[in-house]
Structure 1
Amino acid sequence: MSNFYLESFKTFFKIGLFTLGGGYAMIPIIESEVVDKHKWVGKEEFIDMIAIAQSCPGVMAINISAFIGYRLRKVRGALCMALGTALPSFLIILAIAMFFHQFEDNKVVAAIFRGIRPAVVALIAVPTFNMAKSAKITLTNCWIPIACALAIWMLGVSPIYVILIAGVGGYVYGKYIKPTE
Protein backbone atom coordinates (compact mmCIF):
# COMPACT_ATOMS: atom_id res chain seq x y z
CA MET A 1 0.00 0.00 0.00
CA SER A 2 1.45 3.35 -1.01
CA ASN A 3 2.18 6.10 1.47
CA PHE A 4 -0.83 8.15 0.30
CA TYR A 5 -3.31 5.36 0.98
CA LEU A 6 -1.88 4.71 4.44
CA GLU A 7 -1.83 8.43 5.29
CA SER A 8 -5.37 9.02 4.05
CA PHE A 9 -6.69 5.91 5.84
CA LYS A 10 -5.04 7.01 9.11
CA THR A 11 -6.39 10.55 8.71
CA PHE A 12 -9.98 9.43 8.23
CA PHE A 13 -9.69 6.66 10.83
CA LYS A 14 -8.61 9.30 13.36
CA ILE A 15 -11.51 11.55 12.33
CA GLY A 16 -13.96 8.66 12.65
CA LEU A 17 -12.53 7.58 15.98
CA PHE A 18 -12.46 10.92 17.79
CA THR A 19 -15.55 12.72 16.51
CA LEU A 20 -18.84 12.50 18.36
CA GLY A 21 -22.11 13.59 16.79
CA GLY A 22 -22.01 12.18 13.29
CA GLY A 23 -21.34 13.74 9.90
CA TYR A 24 -22.14 17.37 10.69
CA ALA A 25 -19.90 17.33 13.74
CA MET A 26 -17.11 15.87 11.58
CA ILE A 27 -17.21 18.67 9.00
CA PRO A 28 -14.83 21.10 10.74
CA ILE A 29 -12.36 18.31 11.53
CA ILE A 30 -12.48 16.91 7.98
CA GLU A 31 -12.05 20.44 6.64
CA SER A 32 -9.08 21.07 8.91
CA GLU A 33 -7.36 17.86 7.82
CA VAL A 34 -8.28 17.80 4.12
CA VAL A 35 -8.26 21.51 3.22
CA ASP A 36 -5.88 23.14 5.70
CA LYS A 37 -3.37 20.46 6.74
CA HIS A 38 -3.00 18.13 3.72
CA LYS A 39 -4.35 20.54 1.06
CA TRP A 40 -5.96 17.63 -0.81
CA VAL A 41 -8.87 19.84 -1.96
CA GLY A 42 -9.60 23.56 -1.91
CA LYS A 43 -12.16 25.28 0.32
CA GLU A 44 -14.67 25.92 -2.49
CA GLU A 45 -14.43 22.33 -3.73
CA PHE A 46 -14.86 21.06 -0.16
CA ILE A 47 -18.06 23.09 0.25
CA ASP A 48 -19.36 21.64 -3.03
CA MET A 49 -18.53 18.12 -1.82
CA ILE A 50 -20.47 18.74 1.40
CA ALA A 51 -23.50 19.82 -0.62
CA ILE A 52 -23.30 16.70 -2.79
CA ALA A 53 -22.69 14.44 0.22
CA GLN A 54 -25.79 15.84 1.94
CA SER A 55 -28.00 15.12 -1.03
CA CYS A 56 -26.78 11.53 -1.51
CA PRO A 57 -28.25 8.65 0.46
CA GLY A 58 -26.16 7.22 3.26
CA VAL A 59 -23.95 8.53 6.00
CA MET A 60 -22.69 12.02 5.19
CA ALA A 61 -19.21 11.52 6.68
CA ILE A 62 -18.69 8.38 4.62
CA ASN A 63 -20.07 10.08 1.51
CA ILE A 64 -17.73 13.04 1.83
CA SER A 65 -14.71 10.85 2.55
CA ALA A 66 -15.56 8.72 -0.48
CA PHE A 67 -15.91 11.83 -2.68
CA ILE A 68 -12.55 13.18 -1.51
CA GLY A 69 -10.91 9.79 -2.01
CA TYR A 70 -12.43 9.44 -5.47
CA ARG A 71 -11.32 12.95 -6.40
CA LEU A 72 -7.74 12.12 -5.42
CA ARG A 73 -7.28 8.43 -6.35
CA LYS A 74 -10.52 7.25 -7.99
CA VAL A 75 -12.11 4.02 -6.67
CA ARG A 76 -9.17 2.90 -4.52
CA GLY A 77 -8.97 6.28 -2.83
CA ALA A 78 -12.73 6.32 -2.23
CA LEU A 79 -12.65 2.85 -0.68
CA CYS A 80 -9.61 3.65 1.46
CA MET A 81 -11.00 6.88 2.90
CA ALA A 82 -14.56 5.58 3.32
CA LEU A 83 -13.26 2.51 5.14
CA GLY A 84 -11.09 4.71 7.35
CA THR A 85 -14.16 6.77 8.27
CA ALA A 86 -16.53 3.84 8.87
CA LEU A 87 -14.27 1.35 10.63
CA PRO A 88 -13.97 3.15 14.00
CA SER A 89 -17.75 3.49 14.34
CA PHE A 90 -18.25 -0.13 13.36
CA LEU A 91 -15.72 -1.34 15.94
CA ILE A 92 -17.13 0.89 18.69
CA ILE A 93 -20.74 -0.16 18.01
CA LEU A 94 -19.64 -3.80 17.93
CA ALA A 95 -17.95 -3.42 21.34
CA ILE A 96 -20.99 -1.60 22.76
CA ALA A 97 -23.33 -4.28 21.45
CA MET A 98 -21.22 -6.98 23.06
CA PHE A 99 -21.19 -5.31 26.50
CA PHE A 100 -24.29 -3.06 26.54
CA HIS A 101 -26.41 -5.36 28.69
CA GLN A 102 -23.92 -4.81 31.53
CA PHE A 103 -24.31 -1.00 31.41
CA GLU A 104 -27.87 -0.33 30.21
CA ASP A 105 -29.17 0.55 33.71
CA ASN A 106 -26.01 2.33 34.91
CA LYS A 107 -26.85 5.90 36.05
CA VAL A 108 -23.30 7.15 35.35
CA VAL A 109 -23.45 5.99 31.72
CA ALA A 110 -26.89 7.61 31.30
CA ALA A 111 -25.53 10.86 32.77
CA ILE A 112 -22.55 10.78 30.40
CA PHE A 113 -24.87 10.48 27.40
CA ARG A 114 -27.06 13.33 28.68
CA GLY A 115 -23.94 15.49 29.07
CA ILE A 116 -22.76 14.75 25.52
CA ARG A 117 -26.01 15.99 23.90
CA PRO A 118 -25.39 19.77 24.28
CA ALA A 119 -21.85 19.37 22.99
CA VAL A 120 -23.13 17.56 19.91
CA VAL A 121 -25.61 20.39 19.23
CA ALA A 122 -22.73 22.88 19.35
CA LEU A 123 -20.60 20.65 17.11
CA ILE A 124 -23.39 20.68 14.54
CA ALA A 125 -24.25 24.40 14.86
CA VAL A 126 -20.71 25.75 14.36
CA PRO A 127 -20.06 24.17 10.94
CA THR A 128 -23.57 25.12 9.84
CA PHE A 129 -22.86 28.81 10.51
CA ASN A 130 -19.39 28.55 8.98
CA MET A 131 -20.80 26.95 5.82
CA ALA A 132 -23.47 29.65 5.63
CA LYS A 133 -20.76 32.29 5.85
CA SER A 134 -18.62 30.54 3.20
CA ALA A 135 -21.64 30.11 0.92
CA LYS A 136 -22.34 33.84 1.35
CA ILE A 137 -25.76 33.28 2.90
CA THR A 138 -26.93 36.61 4.29
CA LEU A 139 -30.01 37.81 6.12
CA THR A 140 -31.62 38.67 2.78
CA ASN A 141 -31.37 35.13 1.42
CA CYS A 142 -31.57 33.07 4.62
CA TRP A 143 -35.33 32.81 4.08
CA ILE A 144 -34.72 29.93 1.65
CA PRO A 145 -33.44 27.34 4.18
CA ILE A 146 -35.96 28.59 6.76
CA ALA A 147 -38.83 28.22 4.29
CA CYS A 148 -37.63 24.75 3.31
CA ALA A 149 -37.38 23.63 6.96
CA LEU A 150 -40.84 25.00 7.72
CA ALA A 151 -42.34 23.37 4.61
CA ILE A 152 -40.94 20.01 5.68
CA TRP A 153 -41.83 20.37 9.35
CA MET A 154 -45.19 22.17 9.33
CA LEU A 155 -46.66 21.28 5.94
CA GLY A 156 -45.29 17.75 5.67
CA VAL A 157 -43.60 18.41 2.31
CA SER A 158 -41.30 15.55 1.35
CA PRO A 159 -37.60 16.47 1.57
CA ILE A 160 -37.19 14.86 -1.84
CA TYR A 161 -39.37 17.58 -3.38
CA VAL A 162 -37.36 20.26 -1.59
CA ILE A 163 -34.11 18.78 -2.93
CA LEU A 164 -35.52 18.54 -6.47
CA ILE A 165 -36.82 22.13 -6.38
CA ALA A 166 -33.49 23.34 -4.97
CA GLY A 167 -31.63 21.49 -7.73
CA VAL A 168 -33.79 23.00 -10.46
CA GLY A 169 -33.55 26.44 -8.81
CA GLY A 170 -29.76 26.16 -8.56
CA TYR A 171 -29.52 25.13 -12.19
CA VAL A 172 -31.72 28.01 -13.36
CA TYR A 173 -29.82 30.47 -11.18
CA GLY A 174 -26.41 29.27 -12.37
CA LYS A 175 -27.40 29.01 -16.03
CA TYR A 176 -29.58 32.09 -16.54
CA ILE A 177 -29.48 34.50 -13.60
CA LYS A 178 -25.91 34.48 -12.24
CA PRO A 179 -24.22 35.19 -15.62
CA THR A 180 -26.20 38.44 -15.87
CA GLU A 181 -25.41 39.65 -12.34
Structure 2
Amino acid sequence: MRTYWDLCVGFARTGVTGYGGGPSTIPLIEYEAVKKYKWMTEEEFGESLALANTLPGPIATKMAAYVGYKIKGPLGAFVAIMAHIVPSLIGMLGLLGVLYTFKSSAVVKGMINGVAPVVGVMLAVMAYQFFQKGRQGLGSKWMIGMSLFSLCVIEFLNLHPGFVIILFLTSAFVWSTYKESGKTLFTRKQVMRSREEEL
Protein backbone atom coordinates (compact mmCIF):
# COMPACT_ATOMS: atom_id res chain seq x y z
CA MET A 1 0.00 0.00 0.00
CA ARG A 2 2.90 2.34 0.71
CA THR A 3 4.05 2.12 -2.91
CA TYR A 4 0.59 2.96 -4.23
CA TRP A 5 0.49 5.95 -1.89
CA ASP A 6 3.90 7.09 -3.16
CA LEU A 7 2.65 6.78 -6.74
CA CYS A 8 -0.41 8.87 -5.87
CA VAL A 9 1.57 11.58 -4.11
CA GLY A 10 4.40 11.67 -6.65
CA PHE A 11 2.23 11.90 -9.74
CA ALA A 12 -0.27 14.23 -8.10
CA ARG A 13 2.65 16.61 -7.59
CA THR A 14 3.69 16.33 -11.24
CA GLY A 15 0.12 16.92 -12.39
CA VAL A 16 -0.43 19.99 -10.22
CA THR A 17 2.97 21.64 -10.72
CA GLY A 18 3.46 20.67 -14.37
CA TYR A 19 2.80 24.11 -15.80
CA GLY A 20 3.10 24.46 -19.56
CA GLY A 21 2.06 21.09 -20.93
CA GLY A 22 3.58 17.64 -21.28
CA PRO A 23 7.24 18.46 -22.08
CA SER A 24 7.56 20.76 -19.06
CA THR A 25 6.23 17.96 -16.83
CA ILE A 26 8.97 15.51 -17.83
CA PRO A 27 11.67 17.00 -15.53
CA LEU A 28 9.17 16.80 -12.66
CA ILE A 29 8.41 13.14 -13.40
CA GLU A 30 12.13 12.45 -13.64
CA TYR A 31 12.66 14.02 -10.22
CA GLU A 32 9.94 11.87 -8.63
CA ALA A 33 10.85 8.61 -10.38
CA VAL A 34 14.65 8.87 -10.35
CA LYS A 35 15.77 11.16 -7.54
CA LYS A 36 13.07 11.07 -4.88
CA TYR A 37 11.64 7.53 -4.98
CA LYS A 38 14.43 5.87 -7.02
CA TRP A 39 12.00 3.75 -9.01
CA MET A 40 14.46 3.73 -11.92
CA THR A 41 17.87 5.00 -12.98
CA GLU A 42 18.52 8.02 -15.19
CA GLU A 43 19.43 5.67 -18.05
CA GLU A 44 16.18 3.74 -17.70
CA PHE A 45 14.21 6.98 -17.59
CA GLY A 46 15.93 8.27 -20.73
CA GLU A 47 15.26 5.03 -22.59
CA SER A 48 11.60 4.96 -21.53
CA LEU A 49 11.19 8.61 -22.54
CA ALA A 50 12.67 7.92 -25.97
CA LEU A 51 10.31 4.97 -26.39
CA ALA A 52 7.31 6.96 -25.16
CA ASN A 53 8.03 9.69 -27.72
CA THR A 54 7.51 7.16 -30.51
CA LEU A 55 3.96 6.38 -29.35
CA PRO A 56 0.85 8.53 -29.87
CA GLY A 57 -0.71 10.50 -27.04
CA PRO A 58 0.41 12.97 -24.34
CA ILE A 59 3.95 12.28 -23.18
CA ALA A 60 3.27 12.92 -19.48
CA THR A 61 0.47 10.35 -19.23
CA LYS A 62 2.56 7.81 -21.15
CA MET A 63 5.42 8.27 -18.72
CA ALA A 64 3.06 8.00 -15.75
CA ALA A 65 1.69 4.76 -17.18
CA TYR A 66 5.17 3.38 -17.80
CA VAL A 67 6.50 4.20 -14.34
CA GLY A 68 3.36 2.91 -12.63
CA TYR A 69 3.42 -0.30 -14.65
CA LYS A 70 7.11 -0.84 -13.89
CA ILE A 71 6.47 -0.51 -10.15
CA LYS A 72 3.10 -2.20 -9.66
CA GLY A 73 1.90 -3.61 -12.98
CA PRO A 74 -1.44 -2.63 -14.61
CA LEU A 75 -2.95 -1.35 -11.35
CA GLY A 76 0.13 0.77 -10.72
CA ALA A 77 -0.19 2.26 -14.22
CA PHE A 78 -3.85 3.09 -13.57
CA VAL A 79 -3.07 4.69 -10.19
CA ALA A 80 -0.23 6.78 -11.64
CA ILE A 81 -2.32 8.04 -14.55
CA MET A 82 -5.30 8.92 -12.35
CA ALA A 83 -3.07 10.62 -9.76
CA HIS A 84 -1.48 12.68 -12.53
CA ILE A 85 -4.73 13.68 -14.26
CA VAL A 86 -7.42 14.05 -11.58
CA PRO A 87 -5.91 16.91 -9.49
CA SER A 88 -5.36 19.01 -12.61
CA LEU A 89 -8.86 18.20 -13.85
CA ILE A 90 -10.45 19.25 -10.56
CA GLY A 91 -8.35 22.40 -10.42
CA MET A 92 -9.19 23.25 -14.01
CA LEU A 93 -12.91 22.82 -13.47
CA GLY A 94 -12.78 24.86 -10.28
CA LEU A 95 -10.66 27.70 -11.61
CA LEU A 96 -11.78 27.83 -15.24
CA GLY A 97 -14.42 30.47 -14.60
CA VAL A 98 -12.08 32.59 -12.51
CA LEU A 99 -9.23 32.39 -15.01
CA TYR A 100 -11.54 33.19 -17.91
CA THR A 101 -12.89 36.22 -16.06
CA PHE A 102 -9.43 37.58 -15.25
CA LYS A 103 -7.55 36.40 -18.35
CA SER A 104 -6.85 39.99 -19.39
CA SER A 105 -5.67 40.96 -15.91
CA ALA A 106 -2.12 42.30 -15.66
CA VAL A 107 -1.59 40.19 -12.53
CA VAL A 108 -2.51 36.94 -14.32
CA LYS A 109 -0.34 37.84 -17.30
CA GLY A 110 2.52 38.64 -14.95
CA MET A 111 2.16 35.27 -13.24
CA ILE A 112 2.29 33.49 -16.61
CA ASN A 113 5.32 35.49 -17.73
CA GLY A 114 7.01 34.80 -14.39
CA VAL A 115 6.60 31.04 -14.68
CA ALA A 116 7.71 30.80 -18.32
CA PRO A 117 11.50 31.23 -17.62
CA VAL A 118 11.39 28.47 -14.98
CA VAL A 119 9.81 26.09 -17.49
CA GLY A 120 12.43 27.09 -20.06
CA VAL A 121 15.28 26.35 -17.64
CA MET A 122 13.84 22.93 -16.73
CA LEU A 123 13.57 22.00 -20.41
CA ALA A 124 17.08 23.31 -21.10
CA VAL A 125 18.54 21.22 -18.26
CA MET A 126 16.77 18.10 -19.53
CA ALA A 127 17.94 18.79 -23.10
CA TYR A 128 21.54 19.09 -21.82
CA GLN A 129 21.23 15.80 -19.92
CA PHE A 130 19.94 13.99 -23.00
CA PHE A 131 22.65 15.54 -25.12
CA GLN A 132 25.25 14.18 -22.71
CA LYS A 133 23.69 10.70 -22.78
CA GLY A 134 23.57 10.75 -26.56
CA ARG A 135 27.18 11.94 -26.74
CA GLN A 136 28.29 9.02 -24.59
CA GLY A 137 26.47 6.53 -26.78
CA LEU A 138 27.07 8.04 -30.24
CA GLY A 139 30.09 10.28 -29.83
CA SER A 140 30.22 14.08 -29.97
CA LYS A 141 30.36 14.40 -33.79
CA TRP A 142 27.34 12.18 -34.42
CA MET A 143 25.38 13.79 -31.60
CA ILE A 144 26.04 17.33 -32.81
CA GLY A 145 25.33 16.36 -36.42
CA MET A 146 22.05 14.63 -35.60
CA SER A 147 20.99 17.50 -33.33
CA LEU A 148 21.65 20.09 -36.05
CA PHE A 149 19.87 17.94 -38.63
CA SER A 150 16.83 17.61 -36.34
CA LEU A 151 16.80 21.35 -35.67
CA CYS A 152 16.93 22.18 -39.37
CA VAL A 153 14.19 19.83 -40.54
CA ILE A 154 11.87 20.69 -37.65
CA GLU A 155 12.36 24.47 -37.51
CA PHE A 156 13.18 25.40 -41.10
CA LEU A 157 11.41 22.68 -43.11
CA ASN A 158 8.47 22.48 -40.67
CA LEU A 159 8.61 18.70 -40.62
CA HIS A 160 6.61 17.11 -37.82
CA PRO A 161 8.87 15.85 -34.98
CA GLY A 162 7.17 12.46 -35.17
CA PHE A 163 8.56 11.90 -38.65
CA VAL A 164 12.06 12.79 -37.44
CA ILE A 165 11.74 10.30 -34.59
CA ILE A 166 10.53 7.58 -36.99
CA LEU A 167 13.42 8.37 -39.35
CA PHE A 168 16.02 8.03 -36.58
CA LEU A 169 14.39 4.88 -35.17
CA THR A 170 14.34 3.27 -38.61
CA SER A 171 17.93 4.28 -39.29
CA ALA A 172 19.06 2.93 -35.92
CA PHE A 173 17.21 -0.34 -36.51
CA VAL A 174 18.75 -0.81 -39.97
CA TRP A 175 22.24 0.09 -38.74
CA SER A 176 22.01 -2.20 -35.69
CA THR A 177 20.70 -5.07 -37.83
CA TYR A 178 23.52 -4.55 -40.34
CA LYS A 179 26.16 -4.52 -37.59
CA GLU A 180 24.73 -7.63 -35.92
CA SER A 181 24.56 -9.51 -39.23
CA GLY A 182 28.18 -8.50 -39.89
CA LYS A 183 29.24 -9.80 -36.47
CA THR A 184 27.37 -13.06 -37.06
CA LEU A 185 29.02 -13.50 -40.44
CA PHE A 186 32.44 -12.73 -38.93
CA THR A 187 31.84 -15.25 -36.13
CA ARG A 188 30.82 -17.93 -38.64
CA LYS A 189 33.98 -17.36 -40.64
CA GLN A 190 36.07 -17.64 -37.48
CA VAL A 191 34.35 -20.92 -36.59
CA MET A 192 34.94 -22.29 -40.10
CA ARG A 193 38.62 -21.32 -39.98
CA SER A 194 39.03 -22.95 -36.58
CA ARG A 195 37.49 -26.16 -37.84
CA GLU A 196 39.68 -26.13 -40.93
CA GLU A 197 42.76 -25.62 -38.77
CA GLU A 198 41.72 -28.49 -36.51
CA LEU A 199 41.33 -30.76 -39.54
TM-score with structure 2 setting the length: 0.78
Give the length in aligned residue pairs.
179
Deviations 1:116-167 (A, max 9, x none): 2222211211111112112326541222132123113322434343222111
Structure label with greater radius of gyration: 2
Alignment-mate amino acid for residue 6 of structure 2: E
Structure 1 residue matching 2:56: 3-state secondary structure? coil
Superposed displacement of residue 93, structure 1: 1.9
Residue 157 of structure 1, aligned match among 153, 156, 159: 159
Q: Structure 1 residue 53 and structure 2 residue 55: aligned?
A: no
TM-score with structure 1 setting the length: 0.85
Where does residue 108 of structure 1 map in the other structure? 107
Q: Structure 1 residue 86 and structure 2 residue 92: aligned?
A: no
Q: Structure 1 residue 5 and structure 2 residue 4: aligned?
A: yes
Following the alignment from structure 2 to structure 1, what is the Cα–Cα distance between the partners of residues 160 and 112? 31
Superposed displacement of residue 36, structure 1: 2.7
CA contact (8 A) 1:25 1:127 kept: no
Where does residue 22 of structure 1 map in the other structure? 21
Q: Structure 1 residues 18, 161: CA separation in 2 closer, same or farther (over 3 Å shift)?
A: closer
Following the alignment from structure 2 to structure 1, what is the Cα–Cα distance between the partners of residues 103 and 153? 38
Pick the structure with more helix per residue: 2
Where does residue 196 of structure 2 map in the other structure? none
Residue 147 of structure 1, aligned match among 149, 159, 167: 149
With CA pairs under 8 Å and 6+ residues apart, which has the higher RCO, 1 or 2? 1
Superposed displacement of residue 47, structure 1: 0.8
Deviations 1:26-54 (A, max 9, x none): 33332232123322222221111111222
Following the alignment from structure 2 to structure 1, what is the Cα–Cα distance between the partners of residues 162 and 43? 25
CA contact (8 A) 1:67 1:78 kept: yes
Following the alignment from structure 1 to structure 2, what is the Cα–Cα distance between the partners of residues 56 and 49? 11
Alignment-mate amino acid for residue 112 of structure 2: F
Superposed displacement of residue 57, structure 1: 1.9
Where does residue 189 of structure 2 map in the other structure? none
1:122-133 superposed matches below 5 A: 122-133=121-132
Alignment-mate amino acid for residue 166 of structure 2: L
CA contact (8 A) 1:70 1:78 kept: yes
Alignment-mate amino acid for residue 88 of structure 1: P
Bigger mean CA deviation after superposition, 167-176 or 61-70:
167-176
Runs of 5+ in structure 2 lacking a partner?
A: 184-199
Superposed displacement of residue 24, structure 1: 2.9
